[in-house]
Amino acid sequence: MWNPHRIRFISDGTMRLTILVPLALAAVAPLAAARAQQPRTIAIDARLAADARLHVGDVVVLAAQPGEAGDTVRIAAITRPNADPSEIAHQEYRVRVHLDQLQSLTAYGDRVHRFAVQSRGGATTGSAVAAIDAAAFGFLAHRSRDVAVETSATFAVVSRFHRAIGVITVVASAIFLLCILLLKVDERRKDVAALRLSGISRATVVKSIVIEASMVALFGTLFGAALGWLATAIVNAHYQGVYRTPLRFALITPRTITFALVLSVVLGVAAGALAALRLARAHPLALLGRR
């Protein structure tokens, strides 16, 4: 006993074909013989499975329009969405069907605008590209890498923009840290005076303030990195849920952390040393406001 769902196949032309063709090609031959008894299989993506409450093993009818007659098929797999930024805005479903089913659904005959060929990599890719280009007039083969570069130009710009924001944030907070350190050290005038009066040398005073400043910078950065990591995890969890994609929306990389760490420690030591020297050079009585 089954309860077949009807799926309207959304045909949006060529992009879809590109992806589906190689799959369909691979599956079509062995299945042709067994077609009579068993319903053929398709794969749907996780978004569709969730929205239509479909599971592996469910039997559905493939039709171009609701209510039309079509192939009865069984769902054999549920695919995960790609981590592709160009896909997150479109709330589309992806269905993998056999080539002949696709042809009858789209009523597009045996024509395609594009198809993909998987090569073993290395030199074979170059010869495959050359062979396809030479096969007939009007064929134009591209490596997937080149296509990817071309289609991700927008994202490269966005990524640069993000990096700029990141750098500005880190530099601004480092300057903030510098000012805080200068102020905090200045609050120590009385302590420094007491130390100097009890015979603690300038060098010791400067050294201890610099060590403290670099510790503050170091642990401050580590704390900030931990906070950033947590924020990243929250942002990703939230938007991955909203857009149903494995794409990561916020990134914190070892390079980011290294940059922040180096910058803040260098600035921390510099600020600490500067402020400490200023205090240590002053006469202790002057620091106590007595001179």
Partner 1 sequence: MSEPLLRLEHVERRYHMGGEDVRAVRGVSLSIDAGEHLAIVGPSGCGKSTLLNLLGAIDRPDAGRVLLDGRDVSALSDREATELRLRRIGFVFQRFHLLAALSARENVELPMSEAGLGKRERAERARELLSYVGLAGRERHRPPQLSGGEQQRVAIARALANRPALVLADEPTGELDARTGAEVAALFQRLNDDGTTLVIVTHDEELAAAAKRVVHMRDGLVVRDERGVAPAAAARGR
Ligand X SMILES: Nc1ncnc2c1ncn2[C@@H]1O[C@H](COP(=O)(O)OP(=O)(O)OP(=O)(O)O)[C@@H](O)[C@H]1O
Interface contacts to partner 1, rule CB under 8 A = 190-191, 193-202, 204, 284-285, 290
Extract the tokens encoding 260.
């922040």
User: What whole-number distance in Å separates Cα of residue 77 and Cα of residue 56?
Assistant: 6
The letter for the amino acid at 196 is: R
**CB of 266: closest distance to ligand X in angstroms?**
38
User: What whole-number distance in Å separates Cα of residue 253 and Cα of residue 231?
Assistant: 13
- Choose among ligand X, partner 1, none what residue 191 binds, the Cβ cut-off being 5 to 8 Å by kind: partner 1
Any idea what the Cα angle at residue 107 is, between residues 101 and 112, rounded to 5°? 85
Smaller CB separation from partner 1, 80 or 190:
190
- Choose among ligand X, partner 1, none what residue 204 binds, the Cβ cut-off being 5 to 8 Å by kind: partner 1
Smaller CB separation from ligand X, 90 or 290:
290
- Choose among ligand X, partner 1, none what residue 202 binds, the Cβ cut-off being 5 to 8 Å by kind: partner 1
**CB of 264: closest distance to ligand X in angstroms?**
39
Distances from the Cα of 58 to the Cα of 33, 73, 157, angstroms: 22, 8, 43
The three-state secondary structure class of 249 is: coil
- Choose among partner 1, ligand X, none what residue 166 binds, the Cβ cut-off being 5 to 8 Å by kind: none
**CB of 193: closest distance to partner 1 in angstroms?**
7
- Choose among ligand X, partner 1, none what residue 143 binds, the Cβ cut-off being 5 to 8 Å by kind: none
36 pairs with which residues across the strands?
Answer: none
User: What whole-number distance in Å separates Cα of residue 219 and Cα of residue 261?
Assistant: 9
> What residues from 192 to 231 belong to the interface with ligand X (CB under 6 A)?
none
Q: Please tell me the number of Cα atoms within 13 Å of 190 on its side-chain side.
A: 1
Extract the tokens encoding 139.
């064929």
Smaller CB separation from ligand X, 111 or 291:
291
Q: Which residue is nearest to ligand X (CB)?
A: 291
Smaller CB separation from partner 1, 257 or 280:
280
Site string for ligand X, 272-291 (x = CB under 6 A): ------------------xx
Smaller CB separation from partner 1, 65 or 201:
201
Residue with tokens 């691979």, as numbered in its chain: 26
Q: Distance between alpha carbon 223 and the CA centroid of its chain, in Å? A: 23
- Choose among partner 1, ligand X, none what residue 190 binds, the Cβ cut-off being 5 to 8 Å by kind: partner 1
Please report the DSSP string for 148-208 in residue order: HHHHTHHHHHHHHHHHHHHHHHHHHHHHHHHHHHHHHHHTTHHHHHHHHHTT--HHHHHHH
Smaller CB separation from ligand X, 194 or 218:
194
55 is a site residue for ligand X (CB under 6 A)? no
104 pairs with which residues across the strands?
Answer: none
**CB of 192: closest distance to partner 1 in angstroms?**
10
Interface positions with ligand X (CB under 6 A): 290-291
